[in-house]
Copies of this chain bind each other. A is one copy, B any other.
Amino acid sequence: MTESDFVRVKRSRVHEDIVQQMTQLIKDGKLRPGDKLPPERELAETLGVSRPTLRNALRVLEGLRMIESRQGDGTYVSQANFEQLVAPLAAVLSTRAFLVKDILELRQIIEPPIAERAALKARPEDIEELESILAVQAKKAGEGLETAEEDTRFHYAIAEATGNQMVVHLIDLVMSLLGEVRASWLQVPDRREVSLAGHRAILNAIKARDQAAASQTMKEHIERIGQAIETQL
């Protein structure tokens, strides 16, 4: 027997045990989104712990959007959608400085095939949505207004055009990671025309159902923007 046969003993905390228990109940389907939990006083008694200890556990679960407490009403298993579930992580990640270079490269890797899939799968209403966003973007750029919102919406709409919700959530997460870097880049007026031109080319390829062109135009667009952002840093 060697020293490495011994493992550090992990102390459990009461409120963490409660979190575990609740998570498992939800995972097992015994508690479902929308279900109301017993009142805190009752649940604390059932669990054999003090109410503040239970509340510590509930705060953890609430921070993770797994439950929702309403004063005067009760505590419910959350019906949060994916976006709401991801929001805490996005907030946490925004406190960290990640390599912008890596994020930009990730975009270069994933957005061309996403555009390609959009060219394959877009429905007429998806195309209309893209055209509508582009029109607003053009109008605002023409008036010297800020277009970061349209830029985001355009990429988001391409993801939507794939008809795949996970792709949409992924783009959402990537965009939030880049956060303010893109926004500040778009503040410079002549760059808005670059963004607009890139978007136009992408949209034309998608409209034409030309998968290779969609991939290529998106690739060029992301590279152009990526280079400019890196120069700016």
> Which A residues lie at the B interface, using CB under 8 A?
15, 19, 23, 26-27, 52, 55-57, 59-66, 82, 85-86, 88-89, 91-96, 98-99, 102-103, 105-106, 109-110, 112-114, 117, 162, 164-167, 170, 177
CB distance A170 to B106 under 8 Å? yes
Q: In whole angstroms, how far apart are the Cα atoms of A27 and B112 in the complex?
A: 32
Chain B residues with CB under 8 A of A109: 110, 113-114, 117, 162, 164, 167
What 10 A-B pairs have minimum CB-CB distances, sorted nearest first? A60-B63, A59-B59, A102-B166, A63-B63, A106-B166, A26-B95, A27-B95, A89-B89, A56-B59, A102-B164
Q: In whole angstroms, how far apart are the Cα atoms of A98 and B117 in the complex?
A: 20
Q: In whole angstroms, how far apart are the Cα atoms of A92 and B15 in the complex?
A: 17
Chain B residues with CB under 8 A of A177: 166
Chain B residues with CB under 8 A of A94: 27
Interface of A is mostly: helix
CB distance A64 to B66 under 8 Å? no
Chain B residues with CB under 8 A of A89: 64, 85-86, 88-89
Of A15, A19, A95, A177, chain B has the most CB atoms within 10 Å of the CB of: A95
Chain B residues with CB under 8 A of A88: 64, 88-89
CB distance B110 to A15 under 8 Å? no
CB distance B95 to A23 under 8 Å? yes
Chain B residues with CB under 8 A of A59: 15, 56-57, 59-60, 63
CB distance B166 to A103 under 8 Å? yes
Chain B residues with CB under 8 A of A102: 164-167
Chain B residues with CB under 8 A of A110: 109-110, 113
